[in-house]
Chains A and B, each alone.
Chain A
Amino acid sequence: MPNSENTILSVNNLKVHFPSKRKFGQPKRWIRAVDGIDFDVQEGETLGLVGESGCGKSTTARAILNLIHRAKVEGTIHLNGTRIDNLSDRAMIPHRLTAQMVFQDPFASLNPRMMVGNIIREPMGNYKLFGDETGRRLEVIRLLELVGINPQYMNRYPHEFSGGQRQRIGIARALAVQPKLIVCDEAVSALDVSIQAQVINLLMDLQQKLGVSYVFIAHDLAVVRHIAHRVGVMYLGKIVELADSKELYDSPQHPYTTALLSAAPVPDPTVDVRANRITLTGEVPSPDIEYVGCSFAARCPQVLGHCASTMPQLSTTDHQVSCLLYEDDNIDKSDPPKSNSAEVVV
């Protein structure tokens, strides 16, 4: 991946394989949570990642911040030009200033016994930012105002706030170290629609004001279209399609993306989504299988004979897609599948 000056994050051939609990008498297996993904994020840009549960979104998020333990991690991650995937927890500390994370459940990520002012001040103190305690106090006030929480409430505890307010506090804490990148993992998913809109607006305003970049992970396709400049679609640990947001939603190419979008409801009764529905059979298979071909082949409505035995590659065009239908070699696109199941090697 070209590492231009404005690239904040660059992920190359990232793999995260967790050891699975071994059943008696069975060989050791690996859960291929993330299985070779590439993407980068530019300054001030939002990259969305979508896909069904278990496809590896959260693992990707944690890997970006070098937070994965007890797993086989391969590939490289460059944060603001520095390679970080091989750093120890200690050596990572200064880089935590560059990238921060906001989680789905703000309650679980905020210390219930700390007043919110201190929750936000803590990382500033750890990194000795903003001079002294007075400087940090002023910065806490500024951040609370920025995220729309009355600074008079800084001596309250997390449980005294609503879900949407707690999410704002989580964002204020992430902003406390003035990061260049914030990874949002389902950060608005648990919120009511009306409150979700407030937090999305806040994230977009902050980007305008501060130039911060986001990796925005969500399973809600509409929210991601709204907030992301580019969007990657994940399936079983791989990115199957990545394109400019409008391009991806208006002209999806990968059969999985098409099926996923066709299942997403639209808040408009005059649109008959059902009419264009592509129903996928079965469920996402277990990620402890290594495929020789396309891992979506077994469920793909447009599967070809080669699909189960030929590994598609993510194209390097602007609209990236990983599907034999779009590889322009001598593949016979009328070739019917021999059987609708992928070959696997264990």
Chain B
Amino acid sequence: MVQPILQVKNLEVEFVTDDGIVRAVNDISFDLYPGETLGIVGESGSGKSVANLTILGLIPQPPGHVKGGEVLFAEQDLLKLSQRQFRTIRGKRIAMIFQDPMTALNPFLTIQDQLIEVSMLHLGHTRAAAIQHAVELLELVGIPAAASRITEYPHQFSGGMRQRVMIAMALSCEPDILIADEPTTALDVTIQAQILDLLKAMQDKRGMAIIFITHDLGVVASICDRVLVMYGGRKVEQTDTKTLFAAARHPYTLGLLHSAPRWDQPQLTRLQSIEGQPPDMMNLPAGCAFAPRCQWKTDECLAAVPELVSIGSEFSEGSHVFACIHADQIQQAGSTSREELPHA
């Protein structure tokens, strides 16, 4: 059996602010396997970034506070590491890329200085070898004239190019895990497609595991092997990508699937939106956080947070986990509405 490369167990993170306590991540657990891409989807504010920043010890404390849980990697709990110990892992064995490349790039250093610093530090390259390595990486991520442009500053690159530079930097140490937090959300589809292809190619070559945070179901469908759905700081559903799209069992997931228009099919007259608003993370309800927006809710849903239930997945060997007491009804509703969809 393949062992997970990363195990997140019962992670709880909160922010103590003047207005109250934000319960950003509530009891999140998942395993990540070598060579796979795990998608994380959810509304903005549902805790996707906080959960992943916590894995890398990047939560500002205070106001952040890791209340509980474990993050097991290479036989140690990352939550117990000092910032110094973290430096041997972050950027070397686990790397992260963000939506805004300028959060990772230093505007006052040339691309070369930023790229070689990492590999000299972590891979023990000489300066000359590090430059060589950096140019190769830039070429790999599709920067034209990499050898001459490497001495430029970040602001001399376009947004799409900066994104690729950041990816080159993240890949420069050949990490075991890449955490990608909406890395293509701000990019045009043509550049997004290039970057997704690149990540896939790097993954095939190096067996790197990827956590891909996105709100774009198209991106999920095209690159993720498995998907974890978050709502109100909790995991509400997790399964392989095929099962998720074909047999969702949580009403938020189903609503999300129905909300997304497609460019490759004739338009329906109306999108089936999820009515209402996402929950206030400072005042999460006692019961299911999705209940106020849910057409299937019953009194039971309001009383207590539904437990995660696990069954075998329909389309793969893996399992299907969901937190909804009306899951069967929802899966039924999903399959009926699919039959009603007009096809081209």
- Residue positions of A touching B, CB distance < 8 A: 52-53, 162-165, 192-198, 200-201, 204, 219, 221-226, 245-246, 249-250, 259-261, 263-271, 273-274, 277, 279-280, 282-283
Contact = CB atoms under 8 A, between A and B. Distances in A.
B271 A277 contact: no
A200 B270 CA distance: 9
12 contacts: A52-B189, A162-B278, A192-B43, A193-B260, A194-B259, A198-B274, A221-B263, A226-B261, A263-B192, A267-B257, A269-B222, A283-B158
B264 A266 contact: yes
Contact of A263 (B190, B216, B245, B257): B190
A265 to B, nearest CB: 3
A268 B248 CA distance: 13
Interface in B46-99: none
B256 A222 contact: no
B317 interface: no
Determine chain A's interface SS by DSSP, over half rule.
helix
A35 B344 CA distance: 36
B221 interface: yes
B104 interface: no
B220 A267 contact: yes
B215 interface: yes
Contact of A194 (B43, B219, B245, B267): B43
The 10 closest A-B pairs by CB, nearest first: A265-B218, A197-B273, A267-B217, A197-B259, A263-B193, A226-B261, A197-B271, A194-B274, A222-B263, A52-B188
A52 B190 contact: yes
Given A192-B215, A267-B245, A201 B273 contact: yes
A194 B222 contact: no
A279 B194 CA distance: 8
Contacts, number: 131
Contacts of A163: 44
B266 interface: yes
Nearest to B46: A192
A84 to B, nearest CB: 31
Contacts of A195: 43, 273, 277
Contacts of A197: 258-261, 271-274
A245 B264 CA distance: 11
Contact of B190 (A165, A246, A273, A280): A280
Interface residues of B, number: 48
Contacts of B158: 283
B273 A250 contact: no
B44 A192 contact: yes
A279 B156 CA distance: 24
Interface string B219-245: 111100000000000000000011001
A273 B222 contact: yes
B193 A223 contact: no
A192 B230 CA distance: 13
B292 interface: no
A260 B217 CA distance: 18
Nearest to A165: B277
A265 B219 contact: yes
A264 B218 contact: yes
A222 B220 CA distance: 15
A155 to B, nearest CB: 19
B299 to A, nearest CB: 24
B218 A267 contact: yes
A48 to B, nearest CB: 11
B35 interface: no
Contacts of A260: 189-190
Contacts of A249: 263-264
B278 A192 contact: yes
Contacts of A267: 217-218, 220-221, 245, 257, 260, 262
B232 to A, nearest CB: 13
B144 interface: yes
A271 B258 CA distance: 17
- Residue of A194, A204, A223, A260 with highest tally of chain B CB at under 10 A: A194
B256 A269 contact: no
B129 interface: no
Contacts of B120: none
A250 B344 contact: yes
Contacts of B219: 265
Contacts of A225: 261-263, 267
Nearest to B218: A265
Contacts of B268: 226
B333 interface: no
B263 A264 contact: yes
B259 A193 contact: yes
